[in-house]
Chains A and B, each alone.
Chain A
Amino acid sequence: MGTGRLGAPMEHHGRAAATSDSSAREPAPRGPDGRRREPLRRRASSASAPAVGASALADSVRRERPGSYSGATSVSRQRVESLRKKRPLFPWFGLDIGGTLVKLVYFEPKDITAEEEEEEVESLKSIRKYLTSNVAYGSTGIRDVHLELKDLTLCGRKALNGVFRKADVRVLAAPATCPQIGDLQLCKLDELDCLVKGILYIDSVGFNGRSQCYYFENPADSEKCQKLPFDLKNPYPLLLVNIGSGVSILAVYSKDNYKRVTGTSLGGGTFFGLCCLLTGCTTFEEALEMASRGDSTKVDKLVRDIYGGDYERFGLPGWAVASSFGNMMSKEKREAVSKEDLARATLITITNNIGSIARMCALNENINQVIFVGNFLRINTIAMRLLAYALDYWSKGQLKALFSEHEGYFGAVGALLELLKIP
């Protein structure tokens, strides 16, 4: 496989750009045209193995086009065209390898010509078919079909853009030993750069005609609470709170100008980890389900438990939490709470802490739009409504909490954009 590869850029194919790499190898040196070149290397059986193994996918990046490199004459027209337009070859992936989840975005081209299809390499076809005909992969991979962006035009190609998520980073822990992957290299990008890029792009293309960004009206009222679209026409300045395993808070002033204000280690990973310890649950969904049925006021010490009412001098209402888990030092009270109460209290504690820190940042950076993203908010309406309410209440209506449909995928989208060099 692949002999005459020296120096020909067209031999690079199907690159995926990945962020937050935890198993990075040395990136290849850049060639004169700015593309990364891979060093001379023999490829192990990558021809027949589908690029998408159950969990090996995460590390599939640069792959050789098998069996077609004996010289310039056998280069296909498609590839020539792509290269002329300075487009990378398919498949197009964007990867975000986080602390808990790996997020993958895959661009499925829908405008493939008959000619293209004929020339398409077997492995590429099988990748496409595998990804698009399944919604679950292996024992942990899941495709969020409801987030699919249809009829997107990226780099001149029209497509159905599927958005994937893979759980269980554990499987990726030792990619080097995974035989299917072979010699793969990742083009590493910074997670926050990708996040900012991704969010601005997704908001600009919209969500299949609907609005990407939304907020809650009457978040505290279960009956009247409504999810309403928000037009992010004037996004700047924006406080971006990325709640993943941990939390990063960014102040975004323009498309290319942002700074990481601060972060906190009490994030989604903390909620999940503590819940597993306190309640014995094993999945995020289970933890949230328990939390939805619990009552945290039995677990937390409220202002009224200390003051007998409000702490008026500093405007602290009696129902505000004075000390999270503060009642749990009493044996009686420990025996009186349920697992659901503990799960709820953990959720409330983590969420309120993030909200409080975000509010302080917004105040200090003089920004009044705060957008919360990240997979902690996935199917987590409780946390979203709490953030919306808390931000509104403690800022006396000055701050607005915004949310986004594609929550945790922006990093991966940003990585894809980087691959396609979309500014």
Chain B
Amino acid sequence: MGTTFCWLGRRSHILCWRQKDVAKAWRLISWRREWRHPRKMLLNQLEAVAAIPARYDDNVDLRGGRADAQSWMNFRAFPWFGMDIGGTLVKLVYFEPKDITAEEEQEEVENLKSIRKYLTSNTAYGKTGIRDVHLELKNLTMCGRKGNLHFIRFPSCAMHRFIQMGSEKNFSSLHTTLCATGGGAFKFEEDFRMIADLQLHKLDELDCLIQGLLYVDSVGFNGKPECYYFENPTNPELCQKKPYCLDNPYPMLLVNMGSGVSILAVYSKDNYKRVTGTSLGGGTFLGLCCLLTGCETFEEALEMAAKGDSTNVDKLVKDIYGGDYERFGLQGSAVASSFGNMMSKEKRDSISKEDLARATLVTITNNIGSIARMCALNENIDRVVFVGNFLRINMVSMKLLAYAMDFWSKGQLKALFLEHEGYFGAVGALLELFKMTDDQ
């Protein structure tokens, strides 16, 4: 009757259960810890407890079914989190179930309820945690449950407080698995265990990035497209953000701009390679800005950069050639030497902090763009997708990248961007949660 079936493996038999029934049965037993493993025992228990007859059916295509069908048997306890502990920011995605039955709610453990309420009724946490409400994905179905996906971030330097909180709220009693990626998953693994009695399930950040990106693009952004590009990037009046269909994404060059930069060539869902990286990333921009202008936050740095003029700081081709360097197609307005004018005291005295912030932004952005372009050329890929929190609220960099890709490649390369920028790693970690089996 139109219900989706999920598959449970049992020796050589394929059992078919109606999704709703399994869910009901699972919810009933999952709170009872001793019934949650291993898989074989569980099947018996399910049959016994739910009294749901099994049907034999080997006509249904396993692969054609929903991706999360298999995961029914691997239902993970709430709460569902995906964490990406980066060099500067921690990105957290939280799935808030909206289809909780009265029964479930009654059985729900107190601290689980308080977590849910705390996360969803606030948009700021402590002094530095922020929930990006505008990025919330509504009415999502994940692993058979309907709910909203929330996007939360806080600085990595607040990690210890987060772990402390996890310990205080007795998070470990929820017996949930915490899927974490990013360098911090490795760095803080010990702390999680010792302080909060939590075992992290560590995942590779680039694997998660790709899986997360493909997933979010496939579900879309509340009906709107996730992926976009800029038309006429150099013309401030005509410049427009336009949707881009990433249905056939391969091959693509993925440029992840976080504290540092990683560049990946993605050939298919499971086939990618890390082409190269650069240490001049978002962290460099923020670090240099703090040193040069005295600003303290990323937002402040961007605000200053928006008001500055980098051409006073940089040495342009026309400052050296008096015009264009035609022989090699370098326009007079191109930057020959970033910060090149700053060796002169006069010039140093004549520029403002805003100019310096702008020059830093332009220098870092152009360097990344140039390296990305070289990679795209060499890997023979014409679509370059830029992600990562360096681009958060950073229209200047996005337009500059769009322009640079288009201009230097004479229109061959296209720069693409995604709404959920820096959260794909965390989403990928959450998805891993559903793939895990009880044995893991």
Binding site for B on A (CB under 8 A): 20-24, 98-100, 170, 190, 192, 244-246, 260, 262-270, 272-274, 276-278, 282, 299-301, 303, 305-309, 311, 313-314, 320-331, 334, 342, 349, 352-353, 356-357, 360-361, 363-364
Query: Shortest beta-carbon distance, B156 to chain A, in Å?
Result: 8
- Chain B residues, Cβ within 8 Å of A349: 279-280, 284
- The reply to whether A306 and B341 form a contact with Cβ atoms under 8 Å apart is no
- The reply to whether B279 and A266 form a contact with Cβ atoms under 8 Å apart is no
- The reply to whether B284 and A323 form a contact with Cβ atoms under 8 Å apart is yes
Q: Can you list 14 A-B pairs, Cβ within 8 angstroms, ordered by A?
A: A190-B327, A265-B336, A265-B367, A266-B280, A276-B343, A301-B283, A306-B184, A320-B279, A325-B291, A326-B284, A331-B296, A352-B279, A353-B278, A360-B276
- The reply to whether B374 and A328 form a contact with Cβ atoms under 8 Å apart is no
- The reply to whether A277 and B283 form a contact with Cβ atoms under 8 Å apart is no
Query: Shortest beta-carbon distance, A4 to chain B, in Å?
Result: 35
- The reply to whether A269 and B370 form a contact with Cβ atoms under 8 Å apart is no
- The reply to whether A245 and B320 form a contact with Cβ atoms under 8 Å apart is yes
- The reply to whether A265 and B279 form a contact with Cβ atoms under 8 Å apart is no
- Inter-chain CA distance A360–B278, complex, in Å, is 11
- Chain A residues, Cβ within 8 Å of B274: 314
- Chain B residues, Cβ within 8 Å of A331: 290, 296
Q: Output the nearest chain A residue to B373 by Cβ-Cβ distance.
A: A262
Query: Shortest beta-carbon distance, A149 to chain B, in Å?
Result: 28
- B342 CB within 8 Å of chain A: yes
* Chain B CB within 10 Å, residue with most, of A245, A260, A268: A245
- The reply to whether B88 and A329 form a contact with Cβ atoms under 8 Å apart is yes
- The reply to whether B291 and A342 form a contact with Cβ atoms under 8 Å apart is yes
- The reply to whether B296 and A98 form a contact with Cβ atoms under 8 Å apart is no
- The reply to whether A99 and B87 form a contact with Cβ atoms under 8 Å apart is no
- Inter-chain CA distance A364–B258, complex, in Å, is 26
- Chain A residues, Cβ within 8 Å of B94: none
Query: Shortest beta-carbon distance, B143 to chain A, in Å?
Result: 27
- Inter-chain CA distance A324–B279, complex, in Å, is 5
- The reply to whether B287 and A328 form a contact with Cβ atoms under 8 Å apart is yes
- Chain B residues, Cβ within 8 Å of A277: 292, 339, 342, 348, 356
- Inter-chain CA distance A323–B286, complex, in Å, is 10
Q: Given A276-B342, A328-B287, A349-B284: A305 and B87 within 8 A (CB)?
A: yes
Q: Output the nearest chain A residue to B347 by Cβ-Cβ distance.
A: A273
- The reply to whether A329 and B292 form a contact with Cβ atoms under 8 Å apart is no
- Chain B residues, Cβ within 8 Å of A260: 328
A334 touches which of B187, B259, B290, B356 (Cβ 8 Å):
B290
Q: Output the nearest chain A residue to B370 by Cβ-Cβ distance.
A: A264
Extra 9 A-B pairs, beta carbons < 8 Å, given A322-B283, A357-B370: A269-B336, A269-B343, A270-B363, A273-B338, A273-B343, A277-B339, A299-B287, A303-B183, A323-B282
- Inter-chain CA distance A157–B9, complex, in Å, is 91
- Inter-chain CA distance A320–B262, complex, in Å, is 14
- Inter-chain CA distance A300–B204, complex, in Å, is 23
- The reply to whether A323 and B281 form a contact with Cβ atoms under 8 Å apart is yes
Q: Given A277-B339, A323-B279, A360-B378: A306 and B187 within 8 A (CB)?
A: yes
Binding site for A on B (CB under 8 A): 86-88, 157, 182-184, 186-189, 204, 206, 258-260, 274, 276, 278-284, 286-288, 290-292, 296, 313-315, 319-322, 327-328, 330, 334-345, 348, 356, 363, 366-367, 370-371, 374-375, 377-378
Query: Shortest beta-carbon distance, A359 to chain B, in Å?
Result: 9
- The reply to whether A99 and B327 form a contact with Cβ atoms under 8 Å apart is no
- The reply to whether B336 and A301 form a contact with Cβ atoms under 8 Å apart is no
- Chain A residues, Cβ within 8 Å of B375: 360
Q: Output the nearest chain A residue to B341 by Cβ-Cβ distance.
A: A273
Query: Shortest beta-carbon distance, B270 to chain A, in Å?
Result: 15
Query: Shortest beta-carbon distance, B282 to chain A, in Å?
Result: 8
- Inter-chain CA distance A267–B335, complex, in Å, is 11
- Chain A residues, Cβ within 8 Å of B366: 265
Chain B at the A interface: SS class: helix
- Inter-chain CA distance A276–B349, complex, in Å, is 12
* Chain B CB within 10 Å, residue with most, of A20, A21, A264, A324: A324
- The reply to whether A99 and B320 form a contact with Cβ atoms under 8 Å apart is yes
Q: Given A245-B337, A269-B339, A273-B342: A24 and B322 within 8 A (CB)?
A: yes
A269 touches which of B182, B315, B356 (Cβ 8 Å):
B315
- Chain A residues, Cβ within 8 Å of B343: 100, 269, 272-273, 276
- Chain B residues, Cβ within 8 Å of A278: 291-292
* Chain B CB within 10 Å, residue with most, of A264, A270, A299: A270
- Chain A residues, Cβ within 8 Å of B313: 273
- Inter-chain CA distance A262–B88, complex, in Å, is 31
- The reply to whether B260 and A356 form a contact with Cβ atoms under 8 Å apart is no
Query: Shortest beta-carbon distance, B18 to chain A, in Å?
Result: 41
- The reply to whether B291 and A306 form a contact with Cβ atoms under 8 Å apart is no
- Chain B residues, Cβ within 8 Å of A353: 278-280, 367
- The reply to whether A306 and B183 form a contact with Cβ atoms under 8 Å apart is yes
Query: Shortest beta-carbon distance, B352 to chain A, in Å?
Result: 13
- Chain B residues, Cβ within 8 Å of A245: 315, 320, 336-337, 340
Query: Shortest beta-carbon distance, A326 to chain B, in Å?
Result: 3
Q: Output the nearest chain A residue to B291 by Cβ-Cβ distance.
A: A328
- Inter-chain CA distance A252–B284, complex, in Å, is 33
- The reply to whether B279 and A330 form a contact with Cβ atoms under 8 Å apart is no
User: Lowest 5 A-B CB distances belong to which pairs?
Assistant: A273-B342, A328-B287, A323-B283, A269-B337, A308-B187
- Inter-chain CA distance A246–B370, complex, in Å, is 14
Query: Shortest beta-carbon distance, A103 to chain B, in Å?
Result: 14
- The reply to whether B287 and A98 form a contact with Cβ atoms under 8 Å apart is no
- The reply to whether A307 and B260 form a contact with Cβ atoms under 8 Å apart is no
- The reply to whether B337 and A325 form a contact with Cβ atoms under 8 Å apart is no
- Inter-chain CA distance A20–B371, complex, in Å, is 26
